[in-house]
């Protein structure tokens, strides 16, 4: 059977043996009743790492995002979101269906929020206006780019929120990628945001979940929203346990993923006709375009698959490749050679 090099996402990882062992040996209780010690251990650890008062374990980042928005907003209000953000584009219209809020998108070129433009988008209360009640930012920014938002820019957004008495929520699904790339602790990056969610299932390589962190009163209300959405757990320690292992052991892997992404990007940049901007590879996501080549994106990806390589189509001409646990330098070299071979035969 042909071995597949799967670069579609960092969510395709397999849990480590230590994670599997932790699941098997987890001490559990009824989490809805607040009696699962492993879940509480994960939530407490997550809160400490983010520098927040408390944490709340969710089955997915999408559920955590939606519960956070529901916690901060009222029906008919407006929230500011990035135009390429996951919460705006890839959560099945949850903002309008669940919170019943109106999203107002803002362009975030190269992972940078224009504070003047954002302030112009804030809607004050008025007879014909929907009040802006939340600002949502994302770091890393754009799931097809993985751009690190500069700390100064994050703090500018938070200052703006404070001036207008609007909370700032961060979808930090890949916050640890941003932390490793910035050579700082995650808690330093999110110090001034009101609440932040991070995924356990991406670069951290755990098989389940995400954790939402923030002030105690926020988490208390978010727990109620989680239950309303059907997200309550019983003996959830089994699925929380690998998250604890991930947070304690996987940071070196994230650094390795970034190194491999740079290697991949530089290698693909050497393929004549392939469009790629290596300077925009901040973390573990590499994006390239076949626009200048005499081949469709579908045909290109099909040929890669024939060589045992999976990449993700992200536009009519572009694809992304994401490095992660299980992808070694030898795999990166194999991918580069495969792309060179495909292009050379056009």
Specify the long-range contacts of residues 330-336, CB closer than 8 Å, at least 24 apart: 331/5, 332/260, 332/263, 332/264, 332/267, 333/267, 334/5, 334/309, 335/5, 335/7, 335/264, 335/267, 335/309, 336/264, 336/267, 336/268, 336/270, 336/271
pLDDT digits (tens, 9 = 90+) for 267-295: 999 999 999 999 999 999 999 999 999 99
User: pLDDT-based confidence at 101, cuts 50/70/90?
Assistant: very high
DSSP character at residue 97:
I
Q: Are strands 132-138 and 168-171 parallel, antiparallel or unpaired?
A: parallel
For residues 144-169, average pLDDT = 97
pLDDT digits (tens, 9 = 90+) for 294-345: 999 999 999 999 999 999 999 999 999 999 999 999 999 999 999 999 999 9
Q: How far apart are CA 258 and CA 325, in angstroms?
A: 11
Go through the domains of the chain in sequence order and give each one's CATH number. 5-10+250-344 (3.90.1150.10), 17-248 (3.40.640.10)
Give pLDDT, residue 86. 97
Per the prediction, the chain carries an average pLDDT of: 97
Give pLDDT, residue 1. 66
Is pLDDT at 120 greater than 90 in this prediction?
Answer: yes
Q: How far apart are CA 86 and CA 92, in angstroms?
A: 10
Alpha-carbon distance values, 85 to 205, 254, 267, 271, 282 (Å): 22, 22, 28, 30, 17
Give pLDDT, residue 231. 96
For residues 88-102, average pLDDT = 97
User: pLDDT-based confidence at 143, cuts 50/70/90?
Assistant: confident
Transcribe 235-273 into DSSP letters. STHHHHHHHHHHHHH-HHHHHHHHHHHHHHHHHHHTSTT
């Amino acid at each position: 059977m042909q071995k597949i090099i799967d670069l579609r996402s960092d969510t395709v990882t397999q849990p480590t043996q230590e994670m599997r062992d932790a699941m098997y040996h987890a001490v559990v209780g009824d989490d809805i009743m607040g009696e699962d010690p492993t879940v509480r251990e994960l939530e407490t650890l997550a809160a400490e790492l983010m520098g927040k008062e408390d944490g709340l374990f969710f089955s997915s980042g999408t559920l955590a995002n939606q519960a956070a928005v529901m916690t901060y907003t009222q029906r008919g209000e407006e929230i500011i979101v990035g135009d390429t953000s996951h919460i705006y584009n890839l959560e099945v219209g949850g903002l309008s269906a669940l919170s019943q809020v109106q999203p107002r998108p803002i362009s975030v070129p190269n992972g940078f929020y224009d504070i003047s433009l954002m302030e112009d988008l804030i809607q004050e209360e008025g007879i014909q206006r929907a009040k802006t009640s939340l600002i949502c930012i994302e770091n890393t920014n754009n799931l097809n780019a993985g751009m690190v938002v500069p700390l100064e820019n994050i703090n500018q957004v938070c200052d703006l929120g404070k001036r207008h008495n609007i909370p700032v929520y961060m979808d930090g699904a890949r916050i640890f990628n941003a932390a490793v790339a910035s050579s700082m602790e995650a808690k330093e990056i999110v110090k001034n945001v009101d609440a932040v969610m991070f995924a356990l299932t991406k670069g951290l390589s755990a098989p389940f979940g995400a954790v939402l962190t923030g002030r105690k009163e926020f988490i208390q209300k978010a727990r109620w929203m989680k239950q309303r959405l059907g997200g309550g757990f019983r003996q959830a320690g089994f699925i929380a346990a690998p998250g604890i292992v991930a947070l304690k052991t996987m940071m070196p892997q994230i650094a390795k993923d970034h190194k491999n992404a740079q290697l991949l990007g530089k290698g693909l940049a050497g393929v004549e006709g392939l469009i790629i901007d290596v300077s925009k590879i901040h973390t573990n996501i590499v994006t390239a375009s076949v626009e200048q080549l005499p081949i469709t994106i579908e045909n290109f990806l099909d040929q890669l698959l024939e060589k045992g390589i999976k990449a993700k189509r992200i536009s009519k001409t572009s694809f992304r490749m994401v490095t992660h646990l299980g992808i070694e330098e030898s795999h990166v070299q194999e991918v580069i050679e495969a792309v060179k071979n495909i292009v050379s035969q056009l």
